[in-house]
Structure 1
């Protein structure tokens, strides 16, 4: 399976607490719910397209608890997201969560080395192992070079503080945009699909003047 990270971000890269003021107040965060005024049928359609690619889910403990406290209550059979989350295999990375606490079935708790556990899951048959939310887990997966595709909905709001998808100190990386899946939606939300092209460094260049003309020099 491919490993995909699917998340909502603000213009300043914040992914914390997009859907509710009380979703994630860790670190004193008090600006939750910033996504909701910008949600639409267009953003919902993009998110549903993400879930149609899933064959399993991977969560950190916090997001597992948040999503697991919400989506099992959505019992409408035509709700694609709820049906997918509530029925497909789920894996949660935690050294403290007990099997009894991981009662959003079917769920398996991963307690071993992250790279080994995720590498094993990626070898299973299927389309995608999807990560939603799970900020700390995403950082670890990025550093390990395990993410195959990032799907982002970037909303036209600056949150100003909070957990960012790529915080200061993140491992440098270069991405390629999948043009047919990247577009500006009505209302100004940007849908992006990105494939990592290189981890640990970025290419650079310079603007210069050559024979009176502005030019670029790469490398």
Structure 2
């Protein structure tokens, strides 16, 4: 299976608490709900048809797991795609604190140690995608281990200012190949990116001509 990271992100890279003021207040975060003013029909179509429609299994961190379980297990239309995937597809939860009983939500397996190697082994299984949704710390760990095959980002036209970021100063450098891009009616940008080798260059003038040279990393 491919490993994909699917998430909402602000212009300044924040992914914390997009769906509501109380969704994730870790660290005193008070700006939750920044996605809601930008909801439109395109948003729902992208999340359904271009994200969850590719899933065969879901991989979540503890906080995102508990938030999603509370919402989607009580969702009124259990036949909708996102509800069906999250409630009935295989899920893998990264947690050192929850017991199997506490993690009960459909077919859920708790991963407690050697996370990178366990995820590496899951990727060897047949299937389309093992999908990470939200799960800030897990997404960073998997990126730094070189395990992410594709990023699907909805980038919203808002600067949040502080909060958990998809990439920060601990992130392993990477370039990306843009597989596809588009915009929603409300102004969000949908990006599908594949990681590539980080490279650098320099722009100079040689014999009166602008010359681009590669700089060793």
Q: TM-score, normalised by structure 1?
A: 0.93
Corresponding residue of 2:42: 42
- Moved beyond 6 Å, runs of 4+: none
Contact 1:75 1:82 in 2 (8 A): no
Matches within 5 A, 1:66-81: 66-81=67-82
Rate the CA distance shift 1:218–1:184 in 2: closer, same or farther, 3 A. Answer: farther
2:79 and 2:110 mapped to 1: Cα distance? 28
User: Which runs of no fewer than 5 residues in structure 2 stay unpaired?
Assistant: none
1:137 CA displacement: 0.6
Corresponding residue of 2:96: 95
Residue-by-residue CA offset, 1:42-83 (whole Å, 9 max, x unaligned): 111111120000000001111110101100111314421111
Residue-by-residue CA offset, 1:93-151 (whole Å, 9 max, x unaligned): 11111011011111111113112211121111110000001111111111111111111
1:10 aligns with 2:33: no
CA RMSD of aligned residues (A): 1.3
2:168 and 2:32 mapped to 1: Cα distance? 18
Corresponding residue of 1:207: 203
Corresponding residue of 1:193: 192
Give 3-state SS (helix, strand or coil) of 1:182's partner: strand
1:186 and 1:210 mapped to 2: Cα distance? 46
Matches within 5 A, 1:66-215: 66-178=67-179, 181-198=180-197, 202-215=198-211
Contact 1:7 1:152 in 2 (8 A): yes
Corresponding residue of 1:216: 212
Aligned length: 214
Give 3-state SS (helix, strand or coil) of 1:69's partner: helix
Q: TM-score, normalised by structure 2?
A: 0.94
Give 3-state SS (helix, strand or coil) of 2:73's partner: helix
More divergent stretch after superposition (166-175 vs 9-18) = 166-175
1:211 CA displacement: 4.0
2:23 and 2:78 mapped to 1: Cα distance? 25
Rate the CA distance shift 1:78–1:25 in 2: closer, same or farther, 3 A. Answer: same
Give 3-state SS (helix, strand or coil) of 1:30's partner: coil
